[in-house]
Amino acid sequence: EVQLVESGGDLVQPGGSLRVSCAGSGFSFRSYWMSWVRQAPGKGLEWVASIKQDGSDKFFVDSVKGRFSISRDNVKMSVYLQMNNLRDDDTAVYYCARGMSGSSPNDAFDMWGQGTMVTVSS
């Protein structure tokens, strides 16, 4: 089955760290840009980070630069989001998403996981 499955969401204290994972299956994972998008409770969608097929290019929204990192393992068909120095406003459902064409980062997201909840609270 062609799908993305996130895991690793948890309750974390402010200032803490967490790594969330996304496993792909049923498609050529190594051929696609992968991204993370988050959604705070009751709010809209916010792009967080993206990584190129071979991991050589990575991009982040300004609000997470210096705190979050993105990586991937194409053998395990997985993408990861390492989140450090977490803040209350990082509380959200984190979705991984696939760039549509694979040839450019300038793409719609044609496949999404079900999301994993990250709660930052003391």
**Binding residues for another protein (CB under 8 A):** 35, 37, 44-47, 50, 59, 61, 95, 100, 105-110, 112-115
Q: Measured between alpha carbons, how far is 20 from 95 in angstroms, rounded to an integer? A: 10
Specify the amino acid at residue 86: L
Q: Find the shortest distance in angstroms from Cβ 122 to another protein.
A: 27
- Closest to another protein by CB, 4 or 120: 4
Q: 45, 61 in Cβ contact below 8 A?
A: no
- Closest to another protein by CB, 24 or 115: 115
Please, which residues have CB within 8 angstroms of residue 70's CB and are 6 or more apart in sequence? Answer: 36, 49, 50, 51, 58, 60, 79, 80, 81, 82
Q: Find the shortest distance in angstroms from Cβ 47 to another protein.
A: 4
Q: Find the shortest distance in angstroms from Cβ 30 to another protein.
A: 19
Sign of the C-alpha dihedral computed for residues 26, 45, 37 and 100 taken in this order = positive
Q: 37, 93 in Cβ contact below 8 A?
A: no
Q: Find the shortest distance in angstroms from Cβ 51 to another protein.
A: 10
- Closest to another protein by CB, 17 or 63: 63
- Closest to another protein by CB, 5 or 16: 5
